[in-house]
Amino acid sequence: MINISCFYRVIVVLVLLGVIVVLVLFDNSYAQSLEWKSTPIGAAKGEYTWKGATLVISGSSAGLNIKDADEVYFVSFTKENADFEVVARVVAFDAPKGAYAGIMVRADHSPQASSAATWYTNDKPGVGWMYRLSIQPANSWPRVNFGGIELQQPAPIWLKFVRVGRSFAAFRSRDGKLWAPMSNASGGGFDINGPMQVGFFVSSGNPHVRVTATFDSIEITRPRMTYQTTWVGNSCGYRWFDGHVSNGASAMWVAPDGTVYTSSYWDEAGRPVTSYKNGKVARALPVGTPQTADGGITGDERYIYVAWVDRILRLDPSKPDFAPLPLTLSINLMDKTTNTSVVAGMASNGKKLYVSDARDNVVRVVNVEPVQTLHQAVAANDGITLAPGPVELPRGEARLAPAVVYQTQRTGEGIRYLLPGFEADKSYTIRVHTVDYLQGAEKNEQRQIQIRGKSFHVAKLAGGPMKALVLDFTDWKADKNGRIDFTWTAPRSAPGVCAIEVLDGSGKRLLGINCGGPAVEGFLGETQEDVHRAFAVERPGAMVFDKRGDLWIVQRGCDHPGTPMPKHPAAIKCYSPDGKFTGRAITDVSNPRALAYDAAKDELIVGENAPDFNVRFYGALDSQPKLVRTFGEKGGIYAGTNPGLIHDPTRGGYARFAGITGVGKDASGHLYVAGGFQGTDLRAFKPDGTLDWMLYSNVFVSTYDVDPASDGEDVYATYNHIKLDFNKPLGQHQTYVSYNYDIRRFGEPKRASSSQAILRRLGPQKQLVMYTSGQGTIGDVLIFRYQGELAIPCGSITTDGNFWIDSNGNGKVDAGEVTKHEGRITWATALVVDSKGDLWLAHPGTGGSFMRRYFFKGLNEHGVPIYKCEPGVGYEDIPFPEEGAKTSAWGMSVRFDYDADRDVLIAMYPAVPRKGESDTSAPQYFFARYDNWLKGNRTPTWKVKAFDPITHPQYFLVEVNPYPYRGYMGLQYVGDYVFLAYIFGEVHVFDANTGQLVDILFPGPEVGGHSAWEDAAMGLRAFKRKNGEYLVFTENSGWGGKNNVFRWRPPKAKK
């Protein structure tokens, strides 16, 4: 039977997208008052039958989204916005491969109308979704997008489409009760803001082929999700039109109109370069990950410049696509020994771009406009490649070009130069300079090039890779127009051309071209660097031009916040554009990291990173610069009686900074400060110094946990504390409270890549203690005790066998505090800290899997939890039940959780031995509950063996060719349920009393139905609130640098 709520009542039929559509309209009384309008668009044909419970649609059509337009016969009416849910079962689909049947939502009858759909296809079989927006989103997400995945079994299959606000999510099911996504991408944007039509479609993909689909169990209602999806750790939740705050802000440039551009070394969602305005994400720039470390972005009145991998990109914000233009320098900007960029700062005066090369201690000068070349584009993969390091020049070779020539080369499957200005029909010698940059190239027979029909293996002829080779070709004739046509053909992976020379009969160079490189010593250039303008600067960093045209350059004093180097004092020095030091300098700085210029006041703005952590303003730039004022609390976030607070009304308010990486002012006088030791911390201040807005991205491969003393409102990740307000709407529900690590006292943090925080209240005083782990495996376990808002290091169990407990409470590893752990575990796949403080590790071994339990011995006088590493006294090893002592867990992971208050163990452990690397069979597991575990019981209350997605009805949701069940990552037992994070982003919820799957959680329509892979070993935490609601946190770095937060109520707890 069809279930239509009181505002969804009328059903009509239309042809859509070359698709037959049954349209469900809204609100019977409202619909009757409208004039219906039908407009035939396209040539789709079809028919349908409706028998009150079963809908059969037959039709032929050209297909979905053909050249960004639809062929439709359309029927529409006007209806205001509404959130809704459509559910239906595809009973059968009689169709060849390439045909689709499903649910569609559409704005109007125009061919390019906004639309969204979810479907089933017989092709393999599979399910999928798509959307088409009316305009390109500013955050650079695709205007048209689609996705899907192959299934184990064909129809019948249930489909569900849920729209909430400006996003939608699509789901699939076999029983209409348990719903799973269409893989970790399962929805997107929705910009239908007025009338909409909701219906069912078939698409044959061929106007001469007819297909038939049968639907039943149709329900059209308001959204009925069993949970709400929210997020924590990022100001923006990656709702489709909101974007997200990038994973970091290594550098910043502010445009006069208040647009803030930031650059990050990495962003898991592929948006390392982003712009912000008025407290929102403005536009993501078309620059992929990875990016650069320091000083990687700047701009001028026309362009934005971004250091990207081995080169610089020039971007034009006035263009919809930013019109990216590579600016290739004479060197590879990626230092292969450190795998970081050599760029530490950039500045443009509108004509020239100046680049700080921190490795070679030089400032390079680059023209910002393209260079005209004689190169003719031949292949789509034509480009410029830079050498990974210095090229070796053979001794005694008189024909060599300047060394810089061999650092770049023109590459592609076909390279052609048409060289004019020679005598018609006369013969010349072509000299070719080349080198193969690939290590091991001499062993690869495919790396050969062809010139004039002859093959050359460059690496072999040169004596190896990274060695220059010169080839001469005589009797190369110019054509009747006096042009020499030089062509070089090569497979995709072959080396390219570094330079070409045209020589006359006497060997005199008539023309030289540095292919892909700068102009140098008589060779014409193809890139913008002016190598003769470069000038030396010791430890160059951030830089900026003033209104006189002078260039101010930071001379870096140290690379680490809070640790100045007396041997290398910092300064900010002034140079003329030709590289001459003017004698003007600022020397009263310790660790200047960021630099900007306020033209209105003729002042330099300096981001001082330590020890003051504030912003400094310098005037009198035309004579002897002097400090005129500062902004921000001295000592930054560490100032006051409660260090770590982001906002302290008694010590600076919001002007408390940490790890400053960027400063800038706009034309209105707003000051912008970027920083954050981990992640992004971006703040805008009004001219009166009050906070205007703040954006942050606080987690990367990290998982939040709840302070047990709260009711879910206080959550902590490895570096920060956030307070949640469940009564506020999405986007306003979180407050960044504090940063928890004192980099001044404890040096570089050791948990930068940790994936999880486990919070416990221990001892009579309920000391807040945090335990952190690694990402893919547990790795080192680090222990921190909270002192106010700061997490003080107080213990560690490391894979190298060191066992440390901070006896004196100073947060540092001192002599006599470290014990060598003879029975160390080098491979652990689960970490548990129970409510009584015992610390458990799971070890899957080839001789059997076991769990190690370290006994909590209480707190010392400093609040440090005490553990020991002597067997029997400090810990015990317990085999996983039954098969644990004998089953080889080669290549597997084991998961478990233990509830000390109820003495219940939930475990996932090997069921079938693995034979080693040659064993390609899918791992098989037991998933079981054991009551009275520490009392000695080893008989399971329930146990499931060998999850099989084909034969076991509970596990039909696993896709074809799934990752082995080590794909189940984080596991936690809370209240009456067990929560398991699956690798594609789903959270499977099991009844802890029966082991039965009761629900599946996945990011819903509130966030566009997208989640990253759950590839962190402990990437899930769960908490039961007093009102019966469960909070489930899952790591989600790939789609927005955040945690997913599911607010779930089990059926019996729902109101």
pLDDT tens digits for range 224-241: 999 999 999 999 876 667
Please give the backbone phi and psi of residue 406, each rounded to the nearest 5 degrees, phi first. -85, 0
Please give the backbone phi and psi of residue 985, each rounded to the nearest 5 degrees, phi first. 105, -10
pLDDT of residue 904: 99
- Positive or negative: CA dihedral 300, 302, 303, 304: positive
Q: What angle do CA 337, 340, 342 make, to 5 degrees?
A: 95
Name the token pair of 67: 């050249």
Task: Tell me the C-alpha distance between 329 and 408, whole Å.
Answer: 9
- Output Rg (C-alpha) for the chain, integer angstroms: 32
Residues 6+ apart with CB under 8 A from 553: 345, 356, 363, 537, 540, 541, 542, 543, 572, 573, 574, 575
pLDDT of residue 71: 52
Cβ atoms of residues 73 and 108 within 8 Å? no
pLDDT of residue 79: 57
Q: Which residue has the tokens 């001789």?
A: 847
In this structure, what is the dihedral angle of CA atoms 939, 942, 947, 948, given to the nearest 10 degrees?
A: 120
Q: Which of 598, 592, 538 is nearest to 568 (CA)?
A: 538
Residues 6+ apart with CB under 8 A from 84: 8, 162, 163, 198, 220, 221, 222, 223
Task: Tell me the C-alpha distance between 951 and 949, whole Å.
Answer: 6
What would the CATH number be for the domain defined by 705-718+754-1053? Answer: 2.130.10
Amino acid, single-letter form, for residue 869: C
Q: What angle do CA 751, 981, 715 make, to 5 degrees?
A: 50
pLDDT of residue 939: 95
Residues 6+ apart with CB under 8 A from 177: none
- For 426-465, letters b (16+ CB in 10 Å) and e give eebbbbbbbbbbbeebbebeebbbebeeeebbbbbebeeb
Task: Tell me the C-alpha distance between 770 and 707, whole Å.
Answer: 10
Largest CA distance in the chain: 99
Cβ atoms of residues 941 and 931 within 8 Å? yes
Q: Which residue has the tokens 């059903």?
A: 11
User: Do the bridges between strand 1020-1024 and strand 756-762 make them parallel or antiparallel, or are there none, so unpaired?
Assistant: unpaired
Q: Which of 906, 939, 941, 903 is nearest to 925 (CA)?
A: 906
404: number of Cβ within 10 Å: 19
Residues 6+ apart with CB under 8 A from 646: 637, 654, 656, 736, 737, 738, 739
- For 872-890, letters b (16+ CB in 10 Å) and e give eebbeebbbbbbbeebbbb
Q: What is the pTM of this model?
A: 0.90
Which residues make beta-bridge pairs with 326?
313
- Structure confidence by residue, pLDDT tens digits, 571-593: 999 999 999 999 999 999 999 99
Task: Tell me the C-alpha distance between 535 and 721, whole Å.
Answer: 46
Q: Which residue has the tokens 């039908």?
A: 38
C-alpha separations of 88 from 15, 104, 107, 134, 169 in Å: 19, 12, 21, 27, 15
Q: In which residue ranges of the chain is pLDDT below 50? A: 1-41, 72-78, 560-562, 950-951, 955-957, 962-966, 1054-1055
Q: Which of 611, 521, 516, 499 is nearest to 560 (CA)?
A: 611
Residue 965 DSSP SS3: helix
Quote the distance between the C-alpha of residue 891 and its chain's center: 27
Q: Which of 780, 778, 491, 544 is nearest to 664 (CA)?
A: 544
CATH 2.60.120.200 range(s) for the chain read 3-224
CATH 2.130.10 range(s) for the chain read 705-718+754-1053
Q: State the CATH architecture for 3-224.
A: Sandwich (2.60)
Residues 6+ apart with CB under 8 A from 1020: 703, 969, 970, 971, 972, 979, 980, 981, 987, 1014, 1032, 1033, 1034, 1035
DSSP alpha helix (H) spans, 670-773: 743-746
Task: Tell me the C-alpha distance between 78 and 96, whole Å.
Answer: 36
